[in-house]
Structure 1
């Protein structure tokens, strides 16, 4: 692992990359009287504002929820039933106007689980008595996982016909769109900004011509719903609506972008998990699992879906195949001070995912991994940002970071330090056709011992700003590579939350 900073070699590579690439004609960043500002390109594209990621964004502190029930380990029996019964009892309480039902507190000790735990009501927190020595340990003895699911029910439900976006071009980072009609829309309405994937777009990015892979099925991308960005209206001026988070992928008129109001009756809100550790060692195999059996053996830690304003903090994992998974219908999630260590031989032939985001407006910060073969920070198919990984560290021969598959957009890797590589590339026929893994990705002030493998997809950008390690750009799809400007903030996310970078 290397200290943060920029060697002269990386600076030279950055300068050469800027000169060589037509995309780098734009400035992107500028010093305005000692204050760093983001500069839009001629078409309006800009590095997005990532401050809308996380619980209560921007920058809200996580709450401390009062104790409702306290449990202790049962030395002569399993503990899952007792913990689940306490969760269900607190969940059944009337939900007060504060939105908080209370916390189930686990006293110090080891709790043996013979099955998963589920939280499916708003305002419920499961809290241990510490993640370190002398704290609370959940020992999971029977795969598959996840050990704990935080999940509501149903999905987004449109309450009206889609309204057409009439802007000729909605740039990356835009915080407003103009509609064919904003009649009836009000501040506070929850809307989906939809950026469809048309046949023309799929062809433009080359994802209808993914080369086949010997012995595997390669799936060409098809036209479809594309990116669904969940937003709240903050202003209505004529037919233009302001949004509480930016558009994270450009929308051209030919894309047929729309906006539609929605409800989510089954979504749960204000749920937390904190101050404990989860040990998968009793259930972990002692030898590698054949690839075809991986789907039958998953020892996952925590899964969040159909939930908003939720959090996971001060949790430690040992010997699990994944730590925290944020699924597609979760939003405004904070995961902080979460650490994992795998000290058994890895039982998977491909990188596992420590912190994996398929939802949106998620903040993962001060998290770490010690393992052999893992991605400490990654995203999945069509994840719609802003998504932030900040101050995360990965140690191990094959521990890296980067988006995993299929056009996750609007991601910030901020002060990431890995002993492997950071990759933002076209993954082509990997998997069943993962293709362009990320779009409009910022890698800020980060370090990678095995280098930065980076490319800008057609129609989108990858910005690498302040890299410690060898930058290996794709010459056919050059990224934007820049040194960290003098006086620039250590963290882009922190600067955007505080307003230091407008």
Structure 2
């Protein structure tokens, strides 16, 4: 990836009628310094987040391919054991001063894999021979849903309960990195901490997530596990043919856990390395700070120059809403690549095809870069829970210069995501659903210079109400910057905000006025809103500025990154 510093022009000032006419602008370039100036968008001091901490090693750090220490060529039949054994053997090598052990190089060819490959040790890379064709091909061959490449193993963070301290300020605004505690004596500079924002009954009630409407769905749309769960909880209709899938938000179930490092201590005020992407409010439980650690979290893992695909049953087909026939088998390799428990790791130049899920940054992953990748033509039914191209559930993750085709939620967030995260310079075509924070209060994600087109292409920063199982308010402090899309729905959540800067309409054969109006009405119904489509790309009551005209700087992420690194030279990685 190449990050370029831009010669910036002054950003036009603008007015925010929802706050105060005197509030001239919330983000602009200072003419004297050519740097961004952040003005609060609330009277309590909340500012646009700094997204530049997203990515490998905190952004702006060159990805160096490790030295090749083992080489394999494809074998006839199943290659799973051969490759897994090689990865494990590299994992036993001594790591260098940067924590890197070495790379396994796969020669060009086809590698049949009946089971998952699991990278279990830090400092290990799996790479194919470099080339635009990505002619090192890994093939999932078993007729079941499984992940082809897994990085790390499931593990819960170990909390140091003795260090739990309360944030005592009445209000800590989003965008800040200073926290006043009741007692900071147990901490020192360099400590890894979690800043936890609780989800109290008072907050859930205030934002209306304990009053979600019922969503009755036919049994044919549900999995066997879902049916068993709904039957157990009495959520079945009298005729036993429909089930209420809505789950009201429960106190404590939507806590945000920001992983941070202490960089300064002044009496009981601590400074953390990365600003928060959600306010802490004393009336809604304030916040907790405590030390934590992972014992099994991997680092310095890399994947590059590979094509991932799967065998599937070509005889299983369905028809889409336009009556076009498509492949719909669901018993095949299901996820291309997943970071389960890893940090400071990366993926470069990897293509997935057939898989229903392409690239996943799980909830225990952070500081991950996925760049120059593609997600092509998934094989599945075109419906919920499928066709997710790039999914982020962790924090400080970056998806850069990537492509998706024929997916649903192409650039998407999971639940309770503690930002920042960033999708930068990406493109998706033939989209069958929105790119979005998908459910249950993800925070602090930037969609920067992303382009969408297709039957149901759009961005949605919204209240998803009873969609799914009660997804509700899906995201807060979400920012669209210079994106191109037929439609962007940008709603203001209670206690928070979402933003659109410089969104420009994309017109394709699907984006007729009537089709977009129908989609807006659908979201209105589920969120109890009454927004109107007025031929501008962005709809909603969030912070919307400069519709149909791109902003300066061209990329907010790159501007923030270069300012933070205090460099006037090209940042290369």
What TM-score do you get using the length of structure 2 for normalisation?
A: 0.79
Closer, same or farther in 2 for the Cα pair 1:443/1:134, shift >3 Å? closer
- Partner residue in 2 for 1:5: none
**Matched residue, 1:170:** 172
Specify the alignment match of 1:9 in structure 2.
Answer: none
Counterpart in 2 of 1:389?
423
TM-aligned CA deviation for residue 93 of structure 1:
2.0
User: Do structure 1's residue 479 and structure 2's residue 542 form an aligned pair?
Assistant: yes
Determine the structure 2 residue equivalent to 1:78: 78
Pick from 451, 469, 474 the counterpart of residue 432 of structure 1. 469
**Shift of residue 135 of structure 1?**
2.2
Shift of the 133–58 alpha-carbon distance from structure 1 to 2, 3 Å rule, reads closer
| Whole-Å separation in 2 of the counterparts to 1:184 and 1:72 | 53
Deviates more, 1:361-370 or 1:279-288: 279-288
Residue 282 (structure 1) shift: 3.9
Q: Secondary structure at the match of 2:118?
A: strand
- Tell me the residue number matched to 2:478: 441
Residues 365-420 of structure 1: CA distance to partner in whole angstroms, max 9, x if unpaired?
Answer: 1011111x412200011011101000110000525411111100011011110011
2:270 to 241, 266, 270: 241
What is the aligned partner in structure 1 of residue 376 from structure 2? 341
- How many residues are treated as equivalent by the alignment? 481
Residues 227-306 of structure 1 mapped to structure 2, 5 A cutoff: 227-254=256-283, 255-282=285-312, 286-288=316-318, 299-306=334-341
| 1:8 alignment partner in structure 2 | none
Asked if 2 retains the 8 angstrom alpha-carbon contact of 1:357 and 1:380, the reply is yes
Q: What do the CA deviations read for 1:149-188 (whole angstroms, capped 9, x no partner)?
A: 0013522111233100011111011111111111131111
Secondary structure of the structure 1 residue equivalent to 2:94: coil
Whole-Å separation in 1 of the counterparts to 2:151 and 2:84: 12
Name 1:11's counterpart in structure 2.
Answer: none
Cα shift at 1:281? 4.3
**Residues 405 and 428 in structure 2, CA contact (< 8 A), matched pair in contact too:** yes
**Alignment match of 1:210 (pick from 203, 209, 212):** 212
SS at match of 1:342: strand
Q: Which moved more, 1:114-123 or 1:29-38?
A: 29-38
Do the aligned partners of residues 431 and 153 (structure 1) sit closer, same or farther apart at CA in structure 2, a change above 3 Å counting? closer
Mapped to 2, the partners of 1:24 and 1:131 lie a distance apart of: 55
Do 1:131 and 1:316's aligned partners in 2 also have CA atoms closer than 8 Å?
no
For structure 2, the 5+ residue unaligned runs are 1-12, 218-243, 320-327, 507-515, 532-539, 567-573
Q: Which residue of 2 aligns with 1:499?
A: 563
What's 1:55 paired with?
A: 56
| Match 1:490 to one of 554, 565, 570 | 554
Aligned Cα RMSD in Å?
A: 2.7
Which runs of 5 or more structure 1 residues have no equivalent in the other structure? 1-13
* Offset at residue 207 of structure 1 (A): 0.3
Q: Separation in 2 of the partners of 1:425 and 1:131?
A: 41
Is 2:117 aligned against 1:117?
yes
- Contact 2:151–2:338 (8 Å) recurs in 1: yes
- Residues 1:283 and 1:129: Cα distance change in structure 2 (over 3 Å): farther
Cα distance in structure 2, aligned partners of 1:295 and 1:199: 39
SS of residue paired to 2:373: strand
8 Å contact kept, 1:294–1:348: no
**Is the contact made by 1:108 and 1:129 (CA closer than 8 Å) also made in structure 2?**
yes
C-alpha deviation, 1:147, in angstroms:
0.6
- Write out per-residue CA displacement over residues 247-278 of structure 1, whole angstroms, 9 at most, x where no aligned residue: 11110112231100011111111111111111
SS at match of 2:174: coil
Matching residue within 447, 455, 466 for 2:502: 466
Counterpart contact for 1:301–1:323, Cα < 8 Å:
yes
1:101 and 2:131 equivalent?
no
For 1:286 and 1:131, the matched residues in 2 are separated by 33
Question: Deviations for 1:64-116, whole angstroms, at most 9, x for unmatched residues?
Answer: 20001000011x22111110110111112233433111100001111111111
CA distance, structure 2, for counterparts of residue 245 and residue 461 of structure 1: 20
Q: Does 1:219 align with 2:256?
A: no
Answer yes or no: is the 8 Å Cα contact 2:171–2:286 preserved in 1: no
1:204-257 CA-partner distances (Å, limit 9, x unpaired): 111000011123321000110510000011111111111111111110112231
Is the Cα contact below 8 Å between 1:357 and 1:379 reproduced in 2? yes
In structure 2, the residue corresponding to 1:354 is in which secondary structure?
strand
Shift of 1:128: 0.7
Q: How does 1:347-426 map to 2 (within 5 A)?
A: 347-350=381-384, 352-371=387-406, 373-398=407-432, 400-419=434-453, 420-426=457-463
- 1:195 alignment partner in structure 2: 197
Change (3 A) 1:443 1:31: same
Cα distance in 1 between the residues matched to 2:38 and 2:317 = 50
